[in-house]
Amino acid sequence: MATVDIVVPDIGEFKNIPIIEISIKPGDVVAKDASLVTLESDKATVEVPSPQAGTIKELKVKMGDRVSKGSIIATLDVAEGAATAAPAKPQGKQAQGSAGAGGSAGEGAEGVDAPPAKGVPPVTPDPNLPARGQPAGGGSRGDQGGGAQSNGAHGKGPSAAPAVAPGTGAAKHPDATYHADVLVLGAGPGGYTAAFRAADLGQKVVLVERYARLGGVCLNVGCIPSKALLHAAKVITDAEEGSHLGLSFGKPKIDLDGLRKFKDGVVNKLTGGLAGLAKARKVTTVEGRGQFASPHLLAVETKDGMKTVSFDHCIIAAGSQAARITGFPYDDKRLLDSTSALALAEIPKRMLIIGGGIIGLEMATVYDALGAKVTVVEFLDRLIAAADPDIVRPLQRRIEGRYEKILLKTKVAKLEALPEGLRATFESADGKSPAPAPEIYDRVLLAVGRRPNGKNIAADKAGVNVNERGFIPVDNQMRTNVPHIFAIGDIVGEPMLAHKATHEAKLAAEVIAGMSHHAWEARTIPSVAYTDPEVAWMGLTETEAKAKGIEYEKAVFNWGASGRALGMGREEGLTKLLFAKGSKQVVGAGIVGINAGELIAETVLALEMGADAEDLSLTIHAHPTLSETVFFSAEIADGTITDLLPPKAK
């Protein structure tokens, strides 16, 4: 018998992590990889497994102790000759019961001998499953709000994608710098989720990201920093509007350096946590620009020169980039995109925002609060065109009183760089109506959407189809036309949302690991504009229903009858629910008002669970809350509301 020390293995950047659970005591017989203690940081819960089988001799820690890499947890009596086993690999909580569930699989490249299979069962798409982006169970689900994904490559995947063969079909390229069971290209929310889930399922993962920090556009220069600035904007406007509460504040002193420090601190916490989670999962990260060299090889241009990654499977998560309008002076730093706008270099006196969608209006919210005179120009006849007009109207009424101008059915025909600013020449959308006179602005933000990066990764060298818009078609298991290559996120189609990408990521990783029964079956994907007030919607919209001839019923609750909204001085909101005619099952919802982005989740769950108006109206909601507005809308539909006069019977 030999005695070995059980130490905390490499758990990334985490140090001094408290022990929250101890699963052993002296005398216990433990198997290899059995969980011994559980650690919890502010970013992750990590289990420390036994490096080998044996009997616990002595426990060296107690509950609440803080440990780091190399700290001794316990001593273990093991059989002679077994004391040199490799150190244990830490396990995330979510990996319980699934680590090592499958190896890698893939089709062989031409002329390459396949190494032995790893025992993974074949991943064969179920022929009865719908194409990607189409609801399961026929068309009825689409009528109940599955149409949020109709504008991209979804549903255009291979009509009969070949089954993924068991084992790997690609020999390790002898000259490759790295080899991966699963290569993930892009480390945004979809990419890192795919990498982490694949690692939890026992795969050897390489994650390639062009930037130094994980998290992609969303965490670094998109969703997260914008929400930090929007919070600051809300604090400013709340103070400005406090007089109706009998409260008056002086004009805020804005410290741009301090505001940038706050924003960057939020980003650093999240991206730093991701780096630690990647290291704890033994995910190899490679910084550089990746492009395919062949169906089983990726070339990565790094700061240290060209490196290559061979792979059995690949998940493309290369995202999107800001769209541009031809002819604008992009070499002029006064012309901003969302990334440079979030850098917050200065607050302009006058700012033009081209695009009245979510990104444009969120940045307008920030810069207006910080003191800029904002003009928004939109080619269409309304703001946030994807949402119903009645849901957007309260937002539009509010910002019309704050912004310098809102120009609808108008486009910027020319943008000239002058010493005194950028001169915008406007035209009417129809080319016939009178257009506003040219104006000079200190800064112009271009926010006219995003375009996928499908044409930037040399996908053709891997044989992966990319459509004319740059999207990569996939099936309902996220598989491209090349069976061992998958794609997720912005690059596979709209809506381009992080929360869509993360669900697609887990699906792709699980299918690769052998969970062939898994398929995309989401009934809806919610959208949120984090403006003031917020605008959120999900499922079927009235606009869509009318265009498709779908019969529906609706119930609208105006927040002027909400005690909570009145107490906050923000009663301009409304909550609208759409129901299938007759059955009154929830098929769509739209909410505008404070925290609408939080409130929409209940309606998403209702649609996914097939709930009807009665289910919601019989669910007790806390009072007084804004969440009651969903309850009240359901009561209106059910004819049981008492806080308002019941609707007249039709």
Is 255 within the bounds of a domain?
no
Contact indicator for 378, 407 with CB cutoff of 8 Å: yes
Q: Would you please indicate which residues are annotated as catalytic (active-site) residues?
A: 623
Confidence grade of residue 104 (pLDDT, cut at 50, 70, 90): very low
For the domain that residue 576 is a member of, what is the CATH number? 3.30.390.30
Q: H/E element holding 424? A: strand 421-428
Between strands 410-418 and 421-428, the pairing is antiparallel
In-domain check, residue 152: yes
Domain boundary among 409, 429, 448: 448
CA torsion sign for 560, 562, 563, 569 is: negative
Task: Supply the range of the domain harboring residue 417.
Answer: 335-448
CA dihedral (276, 280, 281, 285) positive or negative: positive
Looking at the structure of the chain, the number of domains it has is: 4
pLDDT at 646: 84
pLDDT at 431: 87
Q: DSSP code of 639?
A: T
Residue 157 phi/psi, 5° resolution?
-70, 180
Of 481, 512, 543, the position where a domain reaches its end is 512
Q: Supply the DSSP symbol for 624.
A: S
The CA-based angle 48-54-56, given to 5 degrees, is: 70
CB-based burial, 621-637: b 16+ in 10 Å, e otherwise:
beeebbbbbbbbbbbbb
Q: Answer yes or no: are the C-beta atoms of 438 and 426 closer than 8 Å.
A: yes
What's the pLDDT at 156? 36
Report the residue count for the chain.
Answer: 650
CA–CA separation, 621 and 637 (whole Å)? 17
List the structure tokens of 587: 């098929």
**Calpha distance 541→35 (Å, rounded):** 49
Are 425 and 457 contained in the same domain?
no
Q: Judge whether 49 and 39 are in contact, CB under 8 Å.
A: no
Residues 182 and 296 grouped into a single domain: yes
Q: Under a CB-based contact definition with an 8 Å cutoff, are residues 310 and 170 in contact?
A: yes
**Residue at 406 is within a domain:** yes
pLDDT digits (tens, 9 = 90+) for 47-58: 788 888 889 999
* Structural domain contains residue 126: no
Average pLDDT over residues 573-600: 98
CA distance 190 to 222: 14
Give the CATH number of the domain where residue 20 resides.
2.40.50.100
Asked if pLDDT for residue 595 goes beyond 80, the answer is yes
Please report the pLDDT score of residue 11 as a whole number: 66
pLDDT band at 59 (very low <50, low <70, confident <90, very high): very high
Give the chain's largest Cα–Cα span: 92
pLDDT at 93 over 80: no
- Does residue 257 form part of some domain? no
Question: What HEC string does 355-411 produce?
Answer: CCCHHHHHHHHHHHHCCCEEEEECCCCCCCCCCCHHHHHHHHHHHHCCCCEEECCEE
Question: pLDDT value at position 10?
Answer: 77
Other CB atoms within a 10 A radius of the CB of residue 240 amount to 14
Could you tell me if 607 and 629 lie in one domain?
Answer: yes
Give the pLDDT score at 166.
35
Could you tell me which of 178, 127, 174 has the C-alpha nearest to residue 314? 178
Asked which of 426, 448, 470 is the last residue of a domain, the reply is 448
Residue 479 and residue 588 in one domain: no
Question: Is 269 contained in some domain?
Answer: no
Q: Which residues contact 517 (CB under 8 A, 6 or more apart)?
A: 126
pLDDT score of 128 more than 50: no
pLDDT at residue 323 is higher than 80:
yes
Tell me: do 572 and 590 sit in the same domain: yes
Residue at 519 is within a domain: no
Average pLDDT, the chain: 86
Task: Place 485 in a pLDDT band, splitting at 50, 70 and 90.
Answer: very high
Predicted local confidence at residue 82, as pLDDT: 56
Tell me which residue has tokens 């060209």. 306
Does residue 459 share a domain with residue 443? no
Q: What is the DSSP letter of 460?
A: G
Report residue 64's pLDDT band, with 50, 70 and 90 as the boundaries.
confident
d(Cα 222, Cα 89) in Å, to the nearest integer? 34
Check residue 150 and give its pLDDT. Answer: 36
pLDDT (average), residues 534-554? 97
Using 50, 70 and 90 to split pLDDT, how confident is the model at 14? low
Report the pLDDT value the prediction gives residue 516, as an integer from 0 to 100. 81
Is residue 50 in a domain?
Answer: yes
Specify whether 614 is located in the same domain as 551.
yes
- Omega cis (within 30) before 624: yes
The C-alpha atoms of residue 474 and residue 48 are separated, in whole angstroms, by 38
Residues 600-619: what's their mean pLDDT?
98
Q: Are residues 175 and 297 in the same domain?
A: yes
441 with 498, same domain: the answer is no
pLDDT (tens digit per residue) in 134-170: 333 333 333 333 333 333 444 433 333 333 333 344 4
The CA-CA-CA angle for residues 504, 544, 394, to 5°, reads 95
CB 206 within 8 A of CB 311: yes
Q: How far is CA 385 from the centre of its chain?
A: 21
Residues 183 and 298 in one domain: yes
Range 85-105 average pLDDT: 39
Same domain, 602 and 495: no
- Do 426 and 574 share a domain, yes or no? no
Which tops the pLDDT comparison, 555 or 171? 555
Q: In this structure, what CATH number is given to the domain that contains residue 157?
A: 3.50.50.60
Pick the closest to residue 161 from 460, 501, 461, 477 (CA basis). Answer: 477
Which ranges of 52-175 would DSSP assign to H, the alpha helix? Answer: 140-143
